């Protein structure tokens, strides 16, 4: 920790706190998540160790980057990239206008993060707006993998006490313990609706209240539309309510509520998890293939150009009690890149974990790019001729964030790290009921 100059406290959670810090050697602003051992000496909480494990293995421009793991006597410190804000703050800030292009760009980045995780057999289980951090260039990055687990074993059972209540899928309210990536898709659909409405869709103080709001909006599920509904251990019958239709809830006058947007939303919010659209298929939906209106996603000020954030400002790590260390960073109009570039169909390299380093890349065209467009091809050729790159909206490589280029090194375990983890014999994959 001698390498870093500690700054203000950004947030406090159940298992520790998040600090802002500066690397003395490079001047880079980072967020340090300090995780303490239990009061009775039982060691570091297993959810924290799971987060370390997954963040070391999953490397993507759409996931928050773990830079270093620093063991200490009373716990561990996770050094992570610093982010200026989070999506919850963006949604709540009514002074910021979200255009249809902005909403499309944010949803594309959310789905790309989920598609990356799901393609590597990881389900996040805590998807909500304040777990999507916003960088100074407008990129979204998924954070807080404390509840994430690998999936795919047909006999594996998991706890249903995951997700914040407002973003929890209905099958978990009914006690389902056998599920897969569909639970993340439901939560992402809730965020989609929240971007359109600018407030949470299914807010409630109890499970029954949230279920009631879900059924008022989507109609009461029928047996033929949800196989095994009545066999669920926590099934509760509600009074039959017809679905009013999404167009009535999201009128055409609402920014971004196009027919294509509502069609995608309906596919993400299917009651039967087996019928929900996957993240990969959602990225191929016609909603992303259509040309969006010009985006007005604003760049946030760079860390070295802004004043020290007040307590509670967003960081590149979140607290473990379900609340992220977020808020505080006000947007300033400083250009249009990041999320706007994502909405225009950029191609992203994604690093796939492998023994001995990084391998593979995702060189396939973005789902948002759609069919080949001669005019778009001509624009890309012009950008290349002027020294820019068509993969990043015509920006020169020097102006493209490092994370978008994938030029990152995987954190290495030194001898002290290895000794630290050997002393704490946790099986991170087979904890019963988690």
Lowest mean pLDDT among 181-185, 231-235, 364-368: 364-368
SS (H, E, C) the chain: CCCEEEEEEEEECCCEEEEEEEECCCCCEEEEEEEECCCCCCCCCHHHHHHHHHHHHCECCCECCEEEEEEECCEEEEEEECCCEEHHHHHHCCCCCCCHHHHHHHHHHHHHHHHHHHHCCEECCCCCHHHEEECCCCCEEECCCCCCEECCCCCCCCCCCCCCHHHCCHHHHCCCCCCCCHHHHHHHHHHHHHHHHCCCCCCCCCHHHHHHHHHHHHCCCCHHHCCCHHHCCCCCCCCCCCCCCHHHHCCCCCCCCCHHHHHHHHHHCCCCHHHCCCHHHHHCCHHHHCCCCCCCCCCCCCHHHCCCCCCCCCCCCCCCCCCCCCCCCCCCCCCCCCHHHHHCCCCCCCEEEECCEEECCCCCCCHHHCCCCHHHHHHHHHHHHCCCCHHHCCCCHHHCCHHHHCCCCCCCCCHHHHHHHHHCCCCCCCCCCC
Domains in the chain: how many in total?
1
pLDDT, position 156: 85
Among 378, 418, 342, smallest CA distance to 56 is for 418
Can you tell me the mean pLDDT for 413-427? 51
Tokens for 255, please give them: 């920014």
In a domain, 29, yes or no: no
Which residues define the annotated binding site?
10-18, 33-34
Q: How confident is the model at residue 242 (pLDDT cuts 50, 70, 90)?
A: very high
Q: Is residue 374 part of a domain?
A: no
Residue 375 lies in a domain: no
More confident residue, 217 or 410: 217
Q: In terms of Cα–Cα distance, which of 113, 124, 130, 95 is closest to 10?
A: 130
pLDDT above 80: residue 187: yes
Instruction: Give the residue numbers marked as catalytic.
Output: 126
- Please check whether residue 275 lies inside any domain of the structure: yes
Model confidence over 12-44: pLDDT tens digits? Answer: 766 678 888 998 888 889 999 888 776 655 667
Q: What pLDDT was estimated at residue 416?
A: 52
More confident residue, 310 or 245: 245
Task: Enumerate the β-bridge partners of residue 20.
Answer: 31
The DSSP bridge partners found for residue 133 are 86, 141
* Residue 149's CATH number: 1.10.510.10
**Could you tell me which residues are annotated as the binding site for ATP?**
10-18, 33-34
Range with the poorest average pLDDT among 20-29, 102-111, 123-132, 420-429: 420-429
Looking at per-residue pLDDT, the higher value among 90 and 366 belongs to 90
Give the pLDDT of residue 419. Answer: 56
Q: What is the pLDDT of residues 288-334, one digit of tens each?
A: 986 654 554 555 544 443 333 333 334 444 444 433 333 333 333 34
Q: Is 80 exceeded by the pLDDT of residue 363?
A: no
Which pLDDT belongs to residue 368? Answer: 38
Q: Judge whether residue 376 has pLDDT over 80.
A: no
Per-residue confidence (pLDDT) for residue 300, from 0 to 100: 53
pLDDT for the residue 269? 97
Report pLDDT for 367: 38
Q: What is the pLDDT of residue 250?
A: 97
pLDDT beyond 60 at 79: yes
Do the domain assignments include residue 118? yes
Average pLDDT, the chain: 75
Residue 423 falls inside a structural domain: no
Residue 292 is predicted with a pLDDT of 54
Range with lowest mean pLDDT among 10-24, 36-50, 202-216, 327-341: 327-341
Residue 258: what pLDDT? Answer: 95
For residue 105, being part of any structural domain is answered with yes
The yes-or-no verdict on residue 384 having pLDDT over 80 is: no
So what's the pLDDT on residue 409? Answer: 41
Q: What pLDDT score was predicted for residue 45?
A: 75
Residue 232 lies in a domain: yes
Whether 215 shows a pLDDT value over 60: the answer reads: yes
Question: Domain span at residue 172?
Answer: 86-289
* Segment 127-131 mean pLDDT: 95
**What integer pLDDT is reported at residue 199 of this predicted model?**
95
Residue 140 has pLDDT above 70, yes or no: yes
Q: Is the pLDDT of residue 121 over 60?
A: yes
pLDDT at site 396:
53
Q: What is the pLDDT of residue 313?
A: 38
């Amino acid at each position: 920790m001698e390498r870093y100059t500690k700054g203000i406290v950004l947030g406090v959670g159940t298992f520790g706190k998040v600090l802002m810090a500066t690397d003395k050697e490079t001047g880079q602003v980072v967020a340090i998540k300090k995780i303490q051992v239990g009061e009775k000496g039982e060691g570091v909480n297993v959810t924290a160790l799971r987060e370390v494990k997954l963040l070391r293995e999953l490397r993507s421009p759409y996931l928050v980057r773990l830079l270093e793991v620093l063991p200490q006597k009373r716990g561990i410190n996770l050094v992570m990239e610093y982010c200026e804000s989070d999506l919850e703050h963006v949604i709540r800030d009514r002074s910021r206008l979200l255009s249809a292009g902005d909403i499309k760009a944010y949803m594309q980045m959310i789905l790309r993060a989920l598609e990356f995780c799901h393609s590597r057999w990881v389900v996040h289980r805590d998807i909500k707006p304040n777990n999507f951090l916003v960088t100074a260039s407008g990129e979204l990055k998924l954070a807080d993998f404390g509840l994430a687990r690998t999936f795919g074993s047909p006999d594996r059972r998991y706890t249903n006490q995951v997700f914040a209540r407002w973003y929890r899928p209905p099958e978990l309210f009914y006690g389902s313990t056998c599920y897969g990536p569909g639970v993340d898709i439901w939560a992402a659909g809730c965020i989609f609706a929240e971007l359109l409405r600018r407030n949470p869709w299914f807010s409630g103080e109890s499970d029954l209240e949230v279920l009631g709001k879900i059924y008022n909006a989507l109609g009461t599920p029928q047996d033929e539309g949800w196989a095994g509904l009545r066999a669920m251990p926590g099934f509760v019958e509600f009074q039959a309510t017809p679905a009013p239709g999404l167009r009535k809830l999201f009128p055409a006058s609402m920014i971004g509520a196009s027919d294509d947007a509502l069609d995608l939303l309906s596919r993400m919010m299917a009651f039967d998890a087996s019928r929900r659209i996957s993240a990969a298929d959602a990225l191929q939906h016609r909603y992303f293939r259509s040309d969006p209106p010009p985006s007005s996603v604003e760049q946030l000020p760079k860390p070295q150009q802004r004043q020290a954030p007040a307590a509670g400002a967003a960081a590149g790590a979140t607290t473990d009690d379900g609340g992220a260390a977020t808020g505080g960073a006000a947007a300033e109009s400083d250009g249009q890149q990041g999320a706007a570039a994502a909405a225009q169909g950029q191609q992203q390299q994604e690093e796939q974990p492998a023994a001995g380093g990084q391998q593979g890349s995702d060189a396939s065209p973005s789902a948002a790019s759609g069919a080949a467009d001669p005019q778009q091809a001509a624009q890309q050729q012009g950008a290349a001729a002027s020294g820019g790159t068509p993969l990043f909206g015509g920006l020169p490589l020097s102006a493209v964030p490092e994370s978008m280029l994938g030029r990152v090194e995987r954190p290495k375990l030194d001898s002290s790290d290895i000794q630290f983890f050997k002393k704490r014999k946790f099986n991170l994959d087979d904890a019963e009921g988690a």
